[in-house]
Amino acid sequence: MQSRPRLQIDTTTATGLPTAPPRVIGFWGGLSANVLNMIGIGPFITIPLALTALAGPQVLLGWVAGAFLCLCDGLVWAELGSAIPESGGPYHYVREAYGRDTYGKLFGFLYLWQTLLAAPLSIGSASVGFAQYLAFLVPSMAPWQQSAVAAALCLFNTALLYRRVGSIQKLSVLITVLVLGACAWIVASGVLHFDTRLAGNFLNMGNPDPHGFWLGLGAVALIAVYDYGGYNNVCMLGGEMKEPRRNIPLAVLFSIPLVAVLYLGLNITILGVLPWNVAAQSKAVVADFMQAIYGHAGSTTAVVVILVASWASALVVLLGYSRVPFTAARGGQFFAVFGRLHPRGAFPTVSLVFVGVTSALACLLPLDDLIAVLILVQVMFQFIAQCFAVVFLRRRPDRDPHAFSMPLYPLPIVISVAGWLYIVATGQPKHVAAGALALLGGSVVFLIQAKRERSWPFRHP
């Protein structure tokens, strides 16, 4: 697909050096980038959190609601990614929709700002989860050693990605097949050893009071969004996708139901093997689940699978996020040094190293509340703004008529906005306040920079 003329980037200079990454990622590479991002450490550590937030069969409703919200939001991403297939996609979406020289500059900067906050937390959480499950195999690991392992994993992934992206695509596809097969084995094991008595006890639990139910449903939906998160990773790599008008929507919309079925199967089978109160208190619920079925050998095998999944998830998230400072630098809204490409490999160098190192530093911080803060920051900074971006872009006369258009428009947008507002409204006040302060801080930094540069909104007539 050809992007809008104003967004086209020459791929080489007059000297023959590359100025933009080549389009080398196909559908399977894009799908694997999404799936590996989605099947990370998330569900393996958040199932107990969900059971604690909303005890009883209603927790399954929260997982379904989260999947449905992500599917509606996935239609938003699919349309935007097809219309504007550039690396660091969301940065371009909001700039084009809200005006490159006016409000789009503010929204573009805020997206960059939240990425600088969210990227280290997202990558770091996957790496810390890797270290925590590794501690299941090595119980003697001290907390500081777990932090060191997580930080080392971030630096190792940075070195691994310091190469042409085509080779990483082959690796990600191979690992995706391995991880999906292993997860299917875990779910199938639960089906074969499903105890209807345990499941019946769980399904017959009493309903909570309505006030607690609505707050708990919001908490579980937030957890589900975190676990399903990653279906948009292909949009970060839009400028490196082949046939992006076709492959970006397919990668987004195939990955969501694929992973949703897997996660729901995992939740249901766990509750048919472990008593729900045991699962709610577990620190390594899938390991305990497999140990109940196969003993020590089963739990060890499951932990190895989870280690591979969490490592691969941290890898592809780093790959996607490392393109955002690069894109912003090319757009003149970040330090120019972040716009450098490797002269032979044609991949962002400074941007990759920066995100990798800050992610390693994030592993040294306590991450208990960061899942909620991470999601709320993304909702308040980006997800709601992108829903309206689809509306504005559809009204433009230069809209590509061959780009993907979501079915039932604008219903998916209405559902997405309502869902995001519900998650914010049911969030813990301290988490919402943290997101609001981050949004305010980013706006202040933008205004200070704009005033210093005498650009919008301080441009003199």
Q: How many domains does the chain have?
A: 1
**pLDDT score at 2:** 34
Residues with Cβ < 8 Å from 236, sequence gap 6 or more?
A: 87, 88, 89, 90, 319, 320, 321, 323, 324
**pLDDT score at 6:** 39
In a domain, 375, yes or no: yes
In a domain, 345, yes or no: no
Query: What is the pLDDT tens value at each position of the chain, 461 positions in all?
Result: 333 333 343 444 444 445 567 788 899 889 988 887 787 777 787 888 888 888 778 888 888 999 999 999 999 999 999 999 988 889 899 999 999 889 999 998 898 888 888 888 888 888 888 888 898 889 888 888 999 999 999 999 999 888 876 666 677 777 777 777 878 888 899 999 999 988 888 877 765 555 578 888 898 999 899 888 889 989 988 888 999 999 999 999 999 999 888 888 888 899 899 988 888 888 778 888 999 999 988 889 888 888 887 888 788 788 888 887 887 788 777 778 888 888 877 788 999 999 999 999 988 876 566 678 888 888 988 999 999 999 999 998 888 888 899 999 999 999 999 999 999 999 889 889 988 998 899 899 899 988 988 889 987 55
**pLDDT score at 211:** 54
CATH number at residue 229: 1.20.1740.10
Helix residue spans in 339-405 (DSSP H): 350-362, 370-378, 384-394
- Residue 12 has φ and ψ, to the nearest 5°, of -140, 155
**pLDDT score at 295:** 92
In a domain, 120, yes or no: yes
The residue range of the domain holding 443 is 20-321+353-453
In a domain, 113, yes or no: yes
359, 120 contact by CB (below 8 A): yes
Taking the CB of residue 344, how many other CB atoms lie within 10 A of it? 10
Closest residue by Cα to residue 332 from 174, 228, 453, 243: 453
The tens digit of pLDDT for each residue in 344-373 reads 777 889 999 999 999 999 888 765 666 788
In a domain, 400, yes or no: yes
* Residues forming beta bridges with residue 220, ordered by sequence position: none
- Report the residue count for the chain: 461
Helix residue spans in 141-209 (DSSP H): 143-160, 165-192, 196-203
**pLDDT score at 166:** 64
Residues with Cβ < 8 Å from 231, sequence gap 6 or more?
A: 34, 37, 38, 70, 74, 77, 252, 255, 256, 259
In a domain, 78, yes or no: yes
In a domain, 201, yes or no: yes
Task: Report pTM.
Answer: 0.82
E-assigned strand segments in 141-294? none
**pLDDT score at 32:** 85
Helices and strands: H and E segment counts in the chain = 20, 0
The tens digit of pLDDT for each residue in 92-150 reads 999 999 998 899 999 988 988 888 888 888 888 888 888 888 988 898 888 889 999 99
In a domain, 55, yes or no: yes
**pLDDT score at 210:** 54
C-alpha torsion 170→175→180→184, nearest 10 = 140
